[in-house]
Amino acid sequence: MLKHLFTIDSNKILDIDLTGIDLQRVPVHVAIIMDGNGRWANIRGKARTFGHQAGAETLKAIVKVANCIGVKIITAYAFSTENWKRPVSEVDFLMNLLGGYLTNEIEEFNKNGVQLRFIGSRRGLPDEILRKMDYAAAVTERNTGIILNLAINYGGRDEILYAVKTIATAAVAGQIDVDNIDTNIFEEHLYTKGLPAPDLLIRPGGDMRISNFLLWQIAYTEIWITDIYWPDFTQEYFIEAIKAYQRRERRFGGL
């Protein structure tokens, strides 16, 4: 099998088999529901939090390979508006994991040209996390590689309501003419403003649902689901998903 080597930075090299991938037709934007962390940990007799920790490592590996093959944006579902319903200990663990990630990975992100962005509601997030998010976004803002768009305290319905309220407020103030509200104006009021819709949505963990992720944006997104749990999701699986995507015919409602 033909292997291609890609240099990521001075001391890290990826060795990924890219046979069968058309590098001219790589999806621009890939969204990922990082599911299966808890089950992955359970079958190993470990606490669910162990799975989240492993899942955070998986995300790093997937961002690297995606950056390498020319994906421009990864949107990863790290914490949903519904995840607050989990036990306080798990919520606290996820917040700490996120805080640590934002502190410890900045240097590596900058080295690899990764730009960090966030979508979701700031309401309810601890101040320390908000500060770290703002700092991470600011210090990676000028990077020109892949955008890692982390969905934190994100819900698709919450995002749509946020857009509706913002537009309604502008309309009441006379800044927007109701007759002019169209998909473009609506999208300018979503958290994902300025980003194209995902081309591909990957869901590990085997569940066949959307879980309130990017409800507006995924109208014509290709979906790829695998039973593999997120911590076991390797760079090779990511390549497999890209190949499956490239075999699809996208018609966007046309013929």
**Does residue 67 have an active-site annotation?**
no
CB of 105 to ligand FPP, least distance (A): 9
Q: Which two tokens stand for residue 141?
A: 């803002």
Q: Which two tokens stand for residue 213?
A: 């992720």
All residues at 6 or more sequence positions from 164 whose CB lies less than 8 Å from its CB, including other chains: none
Helix ranges (DSSP H) in the chain: 37-42, 48-69, 88-104, 106-111, 127-140, 156-172, 183-187, 235-247
Task: Give the contact letters, 131-150, x = binds to ligand FPP (CB under 6 A), - = no.
Answer: -------------------x
Does the protein bind ligand FPP through residue 52 (CB under 6 A)?
Answer: yes
Local structure of residue 237 (DSSP, 8 states)? H
Does the protein bind ligand FPP through residue 120 (CB under 6 A)?
Answer: no
Which of 34, 73, 201, 214 lies at the binding interface for ligand FPP (CB under 6 A)?
A: 34
Check if the beta carbon of residue 135 is closer than 8 Å to that of residue 129: no
Which of 29, 35, 63, 226 lies at the binding interface for ligand FPP (CB under 6 A)?
A: 35
Which of 16, 21, 31, 56 lies at the binding interface for ligand FPP (CB under 6 A)?
A: 56
Return the C-alpha torsion angle 239, 242, 247, 249, nearest 10: 180
Task: Give the contact letters, 97-116, x = binds to ligand FPP (CB under 6 A), - = no.
Answer: xx--x---------------
Does the protein bind ligand FPP through residue 37 (CB under 6 A)?
Answer: yes
- By annotation, the residues acting in catalysis are 35, 83
